[in-house]
Amino acid sequence: MGTLLEVKGLSVSYRRGGVAVRAVDAVDLDVPAGAMLGLVGESGCGKSTLARALMGVLPGNASIDGGRVALDGEDLTELTPAKRRQRLWRELSFVPQTSMNALDPVYRLRDQMREVLCERGGLPTKAADERAVALFRSVGLDPVRLTDFPHQFSGGMRQRAAIAMALALNPKLVIADEPVTALDVIVQRQVLDTIRRLGRDLGLSAIIVTHDISVVTYLCGLTAVMYAGRIVEQGTTEALTRRPTHPYTMGLMNASPDLHEPVETLVPIEGAPPDLADPPKGCRFAPRCPLALAACRESDPPPVVVEPGHSAACFRAAEAGALREAARKASTWTR
């Protein structure tokens, strides 16, 4: 299967009080067709900004500094705004975070679906309505709810509606920004199951942005870990969970409980991410990394191929096997 989305050297900055802050720094990312990529990282690492940059809709004070975003070979950053807008929703769509006010409160769902299907999809009203019914069913919503207003939906239902809307024009790629974060655990699982089923049935390609590793392990075949605006490790989910190579990834795996394995002590990673207005010299994770060497604070580690399809940006990638043992111990992480 070919690469659907190829991101090379993408950088995004925004202006904060006169200072330019690089929220996304020279990111390389590949999403093959039919694959789901989980983009993981803690709050503020730039993953949401990256997601929005891929869509090309950023807040006023943010802009893409450089790099390319190629969807099916076509570089979206090179397009005129009008052409870019044409691609939106038809080729790539977006599922927003649950807690946000993502649906217009004064229009019924039916009208909002019609808007997307008719205005952007060119369908006549009747066909649009039929498709809306089908879409709702596919996400597990009763089509009778189409006549409701957004505030009449529960959080989980709103997310399903958002997914239905995202799939309306059969996009090639769906980007979901924390799609289940604000939902309670049971509803989370239901929505994740829906996404999984749709992924399988439609051969959907997706990027799932989340801070929750368990979502990624449940849903995604591929994983990319982001820290302080950079991708520090990417590969198959299996590879990253069994053979994490970057110390940050190792820390993340430690910090997330897994229902299927014996409960060991959860070890959080101490400290906080760097201020991106003034990033540290060398590896950005070095200040928090218990396995850091002097070299790590001197220069930026480039991505190193660990195994086919798996790379990590760490100087000590070769010793990963041994380091993993140390990383599993709580004492390694506490100072």
Partner 1 sequence: MAYFGRRFLHMLIVLWAIATILFLLFRLMPTDPSIAHLDPTFTEEQRQLVRAQFGLDRPLFEQYLIYMKNLAEGEFGLSFRQRQPVMGLVLAVLPNTLLLTSSALIVAYLFGALLGAYLAWRRGSLFEKISVPLVLATRAAPEFWLGMIVLAIFAFGLNWFPSGGANVAGARYASEWERIFSLDYLRHLVLPVLTLAIYLQGLPALLMRSNMLEIMREEFVTMARMKGLSERRIMLRHAARNALLPLVTAFALGFGQSVGGNVVIENVFSWPGLGRLLVDAVANSDYPLAQGAFLVIAFVLVVMNFIADLMYGLLDPRVVHGEH
By CB under 8 A, residue 83 contacts partner 1: no
* Bridge partners, residue 307, by sequence: 310
Contact set for partner 1, span 129-188 (CB under 8 A):
148-149, 151-154
Nearer to partner 1 among residue 51 and residue 320 (C-beta): 51
Q: Which of 120, 297, 324, 329 binds partner 1 (CB under 8 A)?
A: 120
Q: How far is the CB of 55 from partner 1 (least distance, A)?
A: 5
Note whether 86 binds partner 1 by CB under 8 A. yes
Element spanning 172, H or E? none
Nearest to 181 by CA among 99, 268, 95: 99
Binding partner 1 by CB under 8 A: which of 26, 33, 70, 102? 102
Task: Determine the residue type at 123.
Answer: L
Alpha-carbon distance of 11 to 24, in angstroms, equals 5
CA distance 94 to 81: 18
Stretch that binds partner 1, among 17-25, 68-76, 94-102, 244-252 (CB under 8 A): 94-102
Residue number, 77 or 149, with CB nearest to partner 1 = 149
Nearer Cβ to partner 1, position 145 or 189? 145
Question: Are the beta carbons of 218 and 136 closer than 8 angstroms?
Answer: no
CB of 273 to partner 1, least distance (A): 24
What would the two tokens of residue 27 be?
């990111």
Distances (CA, A) of 138 to 95, 141, 263: 16, 7, 36
Judged by beta carbon, residue 103 or residue 219, the one nearer partner 1 is 103
Total of chain residues touching partner 1, rule CB under 8 A? 29
Q: 296-335: which residues touch partner 1 (CB under 8 A)?
A: none
Which residues does 87 contact at the CB level (< 8 Å), separation at least 6?
A: 71, 76, 79
| Site residues (CB under 8 A) for partner 1, limited to 185-214 | none
Distance CA 223, CA 109 (A): 33
* Part in contact with partner 1 (CB under 8 A); list of ranges 40-48, 54-62, 190-198, 241-249: 54-62
Say if CB 103 and CB 112 are below 8 A apart.
yes
Interacting residue with partner 1 among 13, 14, 67, 89 (CB under 8 A): 89
Burial class of residue 322, CB neighbours in 10 A (0-12, 13-18, 19+): exposed
Establish if 126 lies at the interface with partner 1 (CB under 8 A). Answer: no
Calpha distance 37→174 (Å, rounded): 10
- Tokens representing 44 are 């503020």
- Least spacing, CB of residue 59 vs partner 1, in Å: 8
Query: Smallest distance, Å, CB 169 to partner 1?
Result: 9
Q: Which is nearer to partner 1, 115 or 212 (CB)?
A: 115
Site for partner 1 (CB under 8 A): which residue of 26, 44, 72, 90? 90
Q: Please name the residues in contact with 103: beta carbons below 8 A apart, sequence gap of 6 or more.
A: 109, 112, 150, 158, 161, 162
Judged by the rule CB under 8 A, the positions of this chain that interact with partner 1 are 55, 57, 59, 85-90, 93-94, 96, 100-106, 115-116, 119-120, 148-149, 151-154
